Structure 1
Amino acid sequence: MQSFNQIEKEEDTLINTVKNTLYLARKKFNFSVEVFVKKTIGINVNIRNSIIENVEFNRDGGLFITVYNKFSKGVVSSRDFSINGIKKMLDTAVDISKYSSSDFFSGLPDIKLLCFGSKDLDLFHPTEFNLKNAINFTSISEQEAFKFDKRIVNSEGSFFSNHISINVFGNSLGMLEKYKSTYYNNYNCMIAKDKNCMQRSFSYSTARKLEDLEKPDILGQKTAKNAISRLGSKKINTTKCPIIFSREISPTFFSHFISAISGDNVYQKSTCLLYDLKKRIFPEWLNIEEKPHLIAGLGSKPFDSEGVATKSKSIIKNGILQTWLLNTYNARRLNLFSTGNSGGITNWFVSHKNISFKEMLHTMYNGLLITELMGQGVDIISGNYSRGAIGFWIKGGKIQYPVNEITISGNLKNMWHNIISISNDINIYSKIRSGSILLSEMQISGN
């Protein structure tokens, strides 16, 4: 990993690259120009059964230039940051724009929405972490999993990554902003075996700071415990019953909602929520807030991928949908303004009922706890939902036995309306911060 001084030099180089690009563009022609340059520096380590399977040193960078020739658009990218390279890119972008269809909705964002003077969100926490340390960090979780129980018989691998990103953005409206960030991730997947079957399970964590990651020994023990708990899995009979999405997969549940309110799907009329703005989508007690300036947040950023300043906003208030998620283009198609969501969401905070996961199990009493989902059977246009699932059968508020080879199905709009409760066991390793989710009923397909 590079030293702190080297990272500062890298940042200065990228800033100068954007300045040079904007200068040459201004000197060469009178078109609107957008420039983004990003460099990612890091290391990935994969280990399986104490053998190093893969080590990757990343040093990826890219310069992206967008030219708006009236209402025609030309986009180019390159890894050549030289003056001659930039000149060629600008010429190519202009040539592309001449042959692109004119689109009245194309163009730079409104200058009033741009970010000038970005805030320090405390996203940059580099660590002098060499290859030896990374390998040792990765190995510990696997070793601890094997130590935990003799029924842990194999590993599907342990993974660790440490990355630094430098982002610089500028345009012909006078914006030139930057931010640096760090991202750490560890992952472990183990296999348990008894006389009758084999089962796998995984655990992971992500953080901006190395010290905020799950400790590797704890991660390994958690994975081993989860894998062993799945031994003796059964396939239950087809039924309808309450279900709980565990906190590990609750972000996935809300990710479908994100797709449904994304501007591209809205203006293309490809969402089941097309006519539901300002209408109740969730129960009255449920709120979702987006907080892009959360200090050291996993999704925090001062501006989106178009340079629009990010702002805190209410997505769901008292169950009612407050806004679409818009970039400049789809906002104009809808006669609205960008919400600063070009490139996706930042940090979402989903409200809960301040009950523990254990209390939620008792509230459900009898039903299905889902801990892992498979497949992509979700149709955002119709809302139809069907996915493979793994979990545990709950009876009398307590886990009875593991369940596999089942399919859960329903409709997203009904599922969102049918949320009974969300517990306070918040998933802190996702930018969608939600606890476990209790739904009143879903169709379970089994035997």
Structure 2
Amino acid sequence: MQAGGMQLRTVVSELGDTAALALELARAAGAEGARVEVAHSESRTAMVRNRVPSERSFRLASEISITVYRDGKRASTSSSDLSREGLENAVRAALDITNVTAADSAAGLADPLQLANVFPDLDLYHPFEATLDDMMSYAQRTEAAAFEHDSSIRTSNGASVQTVSGVSLLATSVGFSASAPWSVHSLSCAPVAAGANEKQIGFWSHSARAFDDLAKAEEVGGVAAKRAMDALDARQIPTQQCAVLFEPTAALGLLGELVSAASGDALYRTGSFLKDRLGASLFPEHIHVSEDPFLKRGMGSRCFDSDGIPGSRRMLVQDGRLQGYFLGLYAARRLGLQPTGNGYGPHNLEVRSTRTSDEDDFGRMLGKLNRGLVVTEMVGGGVNRLTGDFSRAAKGFWVENGAIQFPVTGVTLASNLMEMFGGLQAIGSDAITRGASTSGSWLIEAMKVGGA
């Protein structure tokens, strides 16, 4: 798919014709209502490993998802065959599923008054017009930067460049039809540092809607190499209660736990410690979390969700209090609440504190920590959404008098998310964006750190 407007319009038109045919076939086959999502995408990937090209791939993909409603029942099928026969088979398969499905009062299409009717240009479509050779050269530069960073980087798990662009279209039997062109470009590197008796893998990546907005190859390779080197010669520490500073990548993991607990599936299906907590104090008063689905070039930007419902600029957390959930149409109906346009998930979340100043970089945050653990990476599960109990293995650094002393491994963090959120003392100005979320480092007052 090219950047040219004429070809993009042609693809959108073809997707619209396919969706209209699928809806027509669904009605003719006995569906009382239907929702269709159809997409076309083009992706290219180039990867190098230990200075040797290991992958060059090009892929075109088209897919349709059809959801039908009949007798209060709902069923969905998907197919990569967009021919009339393929669509007929997909519709028939979905309707067959309704014969063995129980009626569900929460199932059904959105009310027309709930649907999006304004579609601002979010500047999400920036195809990258480069050859696979050009992309391979970029990947090689990224890995070379890691090798050149330090002699301890002796091998690599690879560096890769990927570019994907496409168009998605949503149409329903109540007359809604809208398309969304998009692109995503990413760059990553995973060098391996070798010590006396150990090896450590470092990883760094970046993604953007436009390729020109990506971090430079040398930056990604250099940061990945530094993270690998800094983890060498790690020690264990005694089990203790101490302050913990989560660097931005780890802090975004904690934000992800908030999103999971505040999402519709957890609230109505598995249970969540945040159920019936709207308006409750969750963080200290200086903490705010905002959402903006209309951010230009945002990785989480959308004009409408999977039901055609628009999101809104809003505060999820204001003055420390939980103000909203992430609800698609079905979950909202199950909970007796209004949908929030989050059928695809959150939109460009940003965590900030009214106490943060421009000077609160990572070095200043180490000073605020003074003595305790810096967490750079968390692995494994260990979060109970029903109770909020938190237990995860972690890596990082031990800090004394505001200065990093040595890397730490083999530790487990234990607490409860309510206690962690309530003990959030400061947010750093060292903010990064990963996916649909932005945050600086988080300083949490106290956690149990299990070590040697």
Same fold (TM > 0.5): yes
Say which of 414, 417, 425 aligns to 1:420.
425
* Equivalent in the alignment of 1:439: 444
The one-letter code of the counterpart of 1:237 is P
* Equivalent in the alignment of 1:83: 84
Alpha-carbon distance in structure 2 between the residues aligned to 1:103 and 1:221: 53
Identify if the C-alpha distance between structure 1 residues 409 and 30 changes in structure 2 by more than 3 Å, giving closer, same or farther: closer
Alpha-carbon distance in structure 2 between the residues aligned to 1:303 and 1:278: 26
Task: Write out per-residue CA displacement over residues 116-163 of structure 1, whole angstroms, 9 at most, x where no aligned residue.
Answer: 242210000112111001101111111111112111111111111100
Q: Is residue 2–residue 127 contact of structure 2 (8 Å, CA) maintained in 1?
A: no
The one-letter code of the counterpart of 1:165 is G
Q: Is residue 207–residue 429 contact of structure 1 (8 Å, CA) maintained in 2?
A: no
The one-letter code of the counterpart of 1:402 is P
* Equivalent in the alignment of 1:237: 238
Matches within 5 A, 1:218-233: 218-233=219-234
Q: Is residue 328–residue 340 contact of structure 2 (8 Å, CA) maintained in 1?
A: yes
Q: Is residue 115–residue 177 contact of structure 1 (8 Å, CA) maintained in 2?
A: no
Alpha-carbon distance in structure 1 between the residues aligned to 2:93 and 2:173: 18
* Equivalent in the alignment of 2:179: 178
Deviates more, 1:175-184 or 1:348-357: 348-357
Q: Is residue 3–residue 126 contact of structure 2 (8 Å, CA) maintained in 1?
A: no
3-state SS in 1 of match to 2:433: coil
Alpha-carbon distance in structure 2 between the residues aligned to 1:207 and 1:3: 16
The CA deviation at 1:6 is: 4.6
Alpha-carbon distance in structure 2 between the residues aligned to 1:105 and 1:200: 47
The CA deviation at 1:8 is: 4.2
3-state SS in 2 of match to 1:268: helix
Identify if the C-alpha distance between structure 1 residues 383 and 98 changes in structure 2 by more than 3 Å, giving closer, same or farther: same
3-state SS in 2 of match to 1:34: strand
The CA deviation at 1:226 is: 2.0
TM-score by length of 2: 0.95
Matches within 5 A, 1:41-60: 41-60=42-61
* Equivalent in the alignment of 1:194: 195
Q: Is residue 415–residue 447 contact of structure 2 (8 Å, CA) maintained in 1?
A: yes
Identify if the C-alpha distance between structure 1 residues 71 and 227 changes in structure 2 by more than 3 Å, giving closer, same or farther: same
* Equivalent in the alignment of 1:150: 151
What runs of 5+ residues in structure 1 fail to find an aligned partner?
none
Identify if the C-alpha distance between structure 1 residues 429 and 260 changes in structure 2 by more than 3 Å, giving closer, same or farther: closer
* Equivalent in the alignment of 1:129: 130
* Equivalent in the alignment of 1:203: 204
Determine what percentage of the aligned residue pairs are the same residue: 31
Task: Write out per-residue CA displacement over residues 71-113 of structure 1, whole angstroms, 9 at most, x where no aligned residue.
Answer: 1112121112122322332233223223321111110012111
The one-letter code of the counterpart of 1:442 is M
Say which of 373, 393, 409 aligns to 1:368.
373
* Equivalent in the alignment of 2:281: 280
What runs of 5+ residues in structure 2 fail to find an aligned partner?
none
Identify if the C-alpha distance between structure 1 residues 292 and 411 changes in structure 2 by more than 3 Å, giving closer, same or farther: same
Task: Write out per-residue CA displacement over residues 240-265 of structure 1, whole angstroms, 9 at most, x where no aligned residue.
Answer: 11011101222111111111111122
Q: Is residue 193–residue 232 contact of structure 2 (8 Å, CA) maintained in 1?
A: yes
Deviates more, 1:268-277 or 1:73-82: 268-277
3-state SS in 1 of match to 2:374: strand
TM-score by length of 1: 0.96
Identify if the C-alpha distance between structure 1 residues 315 and 139 changes in structure 2 by more than 3 Å, giving closer, same or farther: same
Q: Is residue 31–residue 69 contact of structure 2 (8 Å, CA) maintained in 1?
A: no
* Equivalent in the alignment of 1:398: 403
Task: Write out per-residue CA displacement over residues 32-77 of structure 1, whole angstroms, 9 at most, x where no aligned residue.
Answer: 1111101221112221111122233222221111111131112121
Deviates more, 1:263-272 or 1:66-75: 263-272
Alpha-carbon distance in structure 2 between the residues aligned to 1:199 and 1:72: 52
Q: Is residue 303–residue 309 contact of structure 1 (8 Å, CA) maintained in 2?
A: yes
Aligned-residue Cα RMSD (Å) equals 1.6
Alpha-carbon distance in structure 2 between the residues aligned to 1:203 and 1:439: 24
Q: Is residue 303–residue 310 contact of structure 2 (8 Å, CA) maintained in 1?
A: yes
